[in-house]
Amino acid sequence: MLRDSFGRVATDLRVSLTDKCNLRCTYCMPPEGLDWLPNAKLLTADEIVRLVTIGVERLGVTEVRYTGGEPLLRRELVDIVARTTTLSPKPQISLTTNGIGLARLAEPLAAAGLHRVNVSLDTLDAGTFKRLAHRDRHADVIDGLAAADAAGLRPVKVNTVLMRGINDHEAAPLLRWCLARGYELRFIEQMPLDAQHGWSRDDMVTADEILGLLSASFDLTPDDLEERGSAPAERFLVDGGPARVGVIGSVTRPFCGACDRVRLTADGQVRNCLFATEESDLKTAMRAGASDEELAERWMVAVSRKRAGHGIDDPSFLQPSRPMSAIGG
Ligand code: SAM
């Protein structure tokens, strides 16, 4: 098992398939993009499948989420999904994506065994989308969401980051829009993970503010608090339910004590936390000939060193040098 020194067990593996993205969301990366990892440094599809297999079959991983960068840009995505949904014990496999290309890929991904998707959508307005993501692709995201739903990749979850003065007036309209389509909306507090280091606490729309914005239009009641377990989102029944909305207060309501996540970057580094400053290099060991047993052992040692919390509120907090797109959000 992947147990840390505080007794937490990591069962939820986030795998970044690429650091590249076809959007330039302002809270993530600069308009000109970043220096992408060279292909030789990226894990190959076979290497990804091997590490996921070790995670599932030897280390107790029960959920695998493919992310990035933008995972739909990875050409072997359908193949990677197909090869990892058949592992035993069978893991839950999901995808976090900006939805561009999902209109084409939702069916093949569902056929490959993908269980569900989280699609990022910060606005209902195509002009705001273009300002925010520096690309004119709003319609593609909307089409991608519809295709995911039609392909049965449910529950279709929508991730939204609100930014002050940009899209914070859209909290209630976004929820209304998602409710009408049966999508489950989750708001994520903006975290200090942008490559430009432009995050500021004052600009961040907090979980309290989000709940205030929603409560002006909806009746929200806390849902399944007992059952929240390691889920990052606090969930609320909307107008008595059964529809729900989630709020992920990563900064102001951290949930590190129940964290069950571990991350694998596109270049094969194990990270215990989005905000970790240390990584453990599985790729170099693998390419030097390490056995599955040795890789599992390295992975266990890496997780045993997981820190108690992300420490954003600690005066000594340092933003990690890798931005979100390179870690895998
Ligand atoms: N490209 C995919 C996507 O758009 O969903 C997957 C990667 S993206 C890094 C994963 C999620 O992280 C998205 O929902 C995105 O909005 C969120 N995200 C990126 N930067 C963030 C930040 N600084 N704070 C909070 N969420 C962020």
Closest Cα to residue 328, out of 101, 67, 151, 129? 67
pLDDT at 62: 98
Residue 68 and residue 265 in contact, taking contact as beta carbons nearer than 8 Å? no
Contact 68 CB / ligand 1 (< 6 Å): yes
What average pLDDT score do residues 287-316 get?
93
pLDDT at 115: 98
| Backbone Cα Rg of the chain | 19
Q: Which atom of ligand 1 is nearest to the CA of 118?
A: 5
What average pLDDT score do residues 290-308 get?
97
For residue 228, pLDDT over 80 is answered with no
For residue 227, pLDDT over 80 is answered with no
What average pLDDT score do residues 278-299 get?
97
Answer left, alpha or beta for residue 212, where phi above 0 means left and psi between -120 and 50 means alpha: alpha
Contact 167 CB / ligand 1 (< 6 Å): no
pLDDT band at 311 (very low <50, low <70, confident <90, very high): confident
Measured distance CA(29)–CA(140) in Å, rounded: 20
Measured distance CA(28)–CA(47) in Å, rounded: 27
**Pocket test residue of 15, 18, 98 for ligand 1, highest count of atoms within 8 A of CB:** 98
pLDDT digits (tens, 9 = 90+) for 173-190: 999 999 999 999 999 999
Residue 13 and residue 264 in contact, taking contact as beta carbons nearer than 8 Å? yes
pLDDT digits (tens, 9 = 90+) for 86-120: 999 999 999 999 999 999 999 999 999 999 999 99
pLDDT at 226: 56
Q: Which of residues 76 and 323 earns the better pLDDT score?
A: 76
Residue 218 and residue 225 in contact, taking contact as beta carbons nearer than 8 Å? no
pTM beyond cutoff 0.85: yes
The DSSP secondary structure of 115-164, one letter per residue, reads -EEEEE---S-HHHHHHHHSS--HHHHHHHHHHHHHTT--S-EEEE--BT
Residue 9 and residue 60 in contact, taking contact as beta carbons nearer than 8 Å? yes
Taking the centre of ligand 1 as the mean of its atom positions, its distance from the CA of residue 98, in whole angstroms, is 8
For residue 26, pLDDT over 90 is answered with yes
Nearest residue (by CA) to ligand 1, atom 25, is 190
Measured distance CA(110)–CA(234) in Å, rounded: 28
Whole-number Cα distances in Å, 237 to 156, 209, 219, 221, 230:
17, 17, 8, 5, 19
For residue 68, pLDDT over 90 is answered with yes
What average pLDDT score do residues 247-268 get?
94
pLDDT at 322: 81
What average pLDDT score do residues 197-220 get?
95
pLDDT band at 225 (very low <50, low <70, confident <90, very high): low
Taking the centre of ligand 1 as the mean of its atom positions, its distance from the CA of residue 68, in whole angstroms, is 9
Taking the centre of ligand 1 as the mean of its atom positions, its distance from the CA of residue 52, in whole angstroms, is 22
**Pocket test residue of 23, 140, 161 for ligand 1, highest count of atoms within 8 A of CB:** 161
